[in-house]
Amino acid sequence: MTQDTLPATAEAASTAPAGAARWWRDAVIYQVYVRSFADSGGDGVGDLPGVRSRLPYLAELGVDALWITPFYVSPMADFGYDVADHRDVDPLFGTIADVRALVAGAHALGLRVIVDVVPNHTSDRHAWFEAARAAAPGSAERARYIVRDGRGPDGSLPPNDWESVFGGPAWTRLPDGQWYLHLFASGQPDLNWENAEVHAEFEGILRFWLDLGVDGFRVDVAHGMAKAPGLPDVGRAGQAEMLGTAALPYFDQDAVHDVHRAWRRLLDSYGGERIGVAEAWAPTPERIAAYTRPDELHQAFNFHYLTAPWEASALRDVVEESLRTAEAVGAPATWVLSNHDVKRHVTRYGGGERGLRRARAAALLTLALPGSAYVYQGEELGLPEVLDLPAEFLRDPQHLRGDGTGRDGCRVPLPWEGDEPPFGFGAGAAPWLPIPAGWRDLTVAAQSADPGSTLALYREALRIRREHPALGDGRLRWLPGPPGTLLFVREAEGGSGGEGRLLGCAVNASGRPVRVPAPGSPLLASGPVRADGGHVELPPDTALWWDA
Ligand code: GLC
């Protein structure tokens, strides 16, 4: 396996089309987890018309685009990440006409729409896998997947020691004794990306959605399609601990980049700057940045930022390293704090009042950093992880791992309005996961009426971000600050129309109040601050933006 340092191709970066709007370099993109956003059909599950009905909310929030999680035909073994037909909509979520209406509605409000594409695996109910199951070993049907004979005298042992991300062996036996690979659930067989038919099929799928008008794709498991030649053993158990932190023969192989290069050519052949964003869990920021070399995808989620603890030196290190590695390939950094796969950051940062304080400060930090940012639905409401879902509701296949990383708690439906569950999520059946009664004060309606709410903070931060010439794409300059703080300024660059304007950001990630220089007028703070003559007293876990 070769996992050497990947060369940065910075010279190619400077040849990026001059004068292009490059909207994605500083876009704020809102992740809609369809199942849990808004239920228009009354079955307790969110759907596409539900998303459409709430587009004005997203426009008012002030984001630039939405990323909508999979709504394709699926048996829902992994809630839609097991796709049985990539060119049609699951009736649970709506119809193709609903996608068209949603895209048109979003575009009319100035919002772009990106959708998921899931290329590493299909559902085991996909027509291709059904054909592979029925066909003989060595057939063309089996060659679309990764199917092997087992080990041991009677082939009753899996072909190697790879483990599924969801726990247990990554291989399941077919009735005739061969084994198929599934890096996720057994209902998600891995495709064989050494097969030309697979490439052609996915190009067709991308074209289908691009022709329909989507503005790009979030590429699921973008680090997964290439496997090390010969499928070598990892050599140890407990591989879940290595995900995104160590080299593995089934993830982040150099050959995977060939797929992204081909897809970039395809995206570029369409007008309107359609983008690709990589969901790539790779061991270092440098290896993540490799997915955004000039001839690959446009963005890659910064999971090292997401997993950093709330601690000034750790945050500063990851910010510096991310900016350095992104700049080396000419790409924007892409900041993310939460998504549908991880514990919500209010809870990761300690939960309760303190977790919320930190999450609010983290929002100002994130939105002040150079590059693009993602907002996961509900983070703008300061929602915590729901840790006490009754056992009968736990549905996520990742529960099989048994290490407490099940993902239901971050997928609880959004509270929109009213005094009791389901808080306007839907008007019929109970939501597929129960919404805590305690979220009464966290609804969109309740927070809209409160200028001190987390929603009000996000709206104001996003408004300032759109209007202030120093925010968005560009660079930052660190300033010296007391221990436990992050202090930097953003400066408007030439051509922005606001030359010389500065935006300062101070974050107190320490446990005590600090006094920091803030030579300008305070613009927005995540908590109560006291300003006096060019300095500001920041309470613990509080951030401030100032203007100069
Ligand atoms: C990605 C998705 C996750 C899914 C997995 C398998 O990590 O974000 O939800 O379970 O891929 O498709």
Q: Which of 78, 98, 279, 296 is flagged as catalytic? A: 279
Nearest atom, ligand 1, residue 120 CA = 12
In angstroms, rounded to a whole number, what is the distance separating the alpha carbons of residues 168 and 124? 18
Task: Tell me which of 67, 190, 221 to substitute to probe ligand 1's pocket, judged by most ligand atoms within 8 Å of the beta carbon.
Answer: 221
pTM: 0.95
In angstroms, rounded to a whole number, what is the distance separating the alpha carbons of residues 69 and 166? 19
Nearest atom, ligand 1, residue 341 CA = 9
Beta pairing partners, 68: 32, 115
In angstroms, rounded to a whole number, what is the distance separating the alpha carbons of residues 137 and 374? 44
Residue 461 alpha carbon to ligand 1 centre in Å: 30
Full pLDDT tens readout for the chain, 548 residues = 333 344 333 333 322 333 346 999 999 999 999 999 999 999 999 999 999 999 999 999 999 999 999 999 999 999 999 999 999 999 999 999 999 999 999 999 999 999 999 999 999 999 999 999 999 999 999 999 999 999 999 999 999 999 999 999 999 999 999 999 999 999 999 999 999 999 999 999 999 999 999 999 999 999 999 999 999 999 999 999 999 999 999 999 999 999 999 999 999 999 999 999 999 999 999 999 999 999 999 999 999 999 999 999 999 999 999 999 999 999 999 999 999 999 999 999 999 999 999 999 999 999 999 999 999 999 999 999 999 999 999 989 997 778 888 999 999 999 999 999 999 999 999 999 999 999 999 999 999 999 999 999 999 999 999 999 999 999 999 999 999 999 999 999 877 678 889 999 999 999 999 999 988 899 999 999 999 888 999 999 999 999 98
131, 141 contact by CB (below 8 A) = yes
Q: Using alpha carbons, select from 179, 133, 134 the residue that is nearest to residue 152.
A: 179
Residue 540 alpha carbon to ligand 1 centre in Å: 35
Instruction: Dig out the tokens for 479 from the structure.
Output: 């300033």
Q: Which of 64, 98, 163, 220 is flagged as catalytic? A: 220
The residues near 154 (Cβ < 8 Å, ≥ 6 apart) are none
Ligand 1 within 6 A of CB of 328? no
508, 539 contact by CB (below 8 A) = yes
Q: Are strands 477-478 and 485-491 parallel, antiparallel or unpaired?
A: antiparallel
291, 81 contact by CB (below 8 A) = no
- Name the residue with tokens 């549908």: 340
Q: Is 279 a catalytic residue?
A: yes
Domains, the chain, ordered by start: 23-120+196-461 (3.20.20.80), 476-547 (2.60.40.1180)
Instruction: Dig out the tokens for 348 from the structure.
Output: 């990761």
Upstream peptide bond of 480 is cis (omega within 30 degrees of 0): no
Rounded-to-10 torsion of CA 377, 383, 384, 387: -80
Instruction: Dig out the tokens for 1 from the structure.
Output: 């396996």
In angstroms, rounded to a whole number, what is the distance separating the alpha carbons of residues 8 and 13? 10
Nearest atom, ligand 1, residue 340 CA = 9
Indicate the burial class of 148 (C-beta count within 10 angstroms; 0-12, 13-18, 19 or more). middle
Question: Whose CA is closest to atom 9 on ligand 1?
Answer: 341
Cβ count within 10 A of residue 402: 11
The CA radius of gyration of the chain, in Å to the nearest whole number, is: 23
Residue 406 alpha carbon to ligand 1 centre in Å: 12
Cβ count within 10 A of residue 231: 14
Q: Is 220 a catalytic residue?
A: yes
Q: Using alpha carbons, select from 77, 256, 76, 290 the residue that is nearest to residue 166.
A: 77
- Name the residue with tokens 């050494």: 194
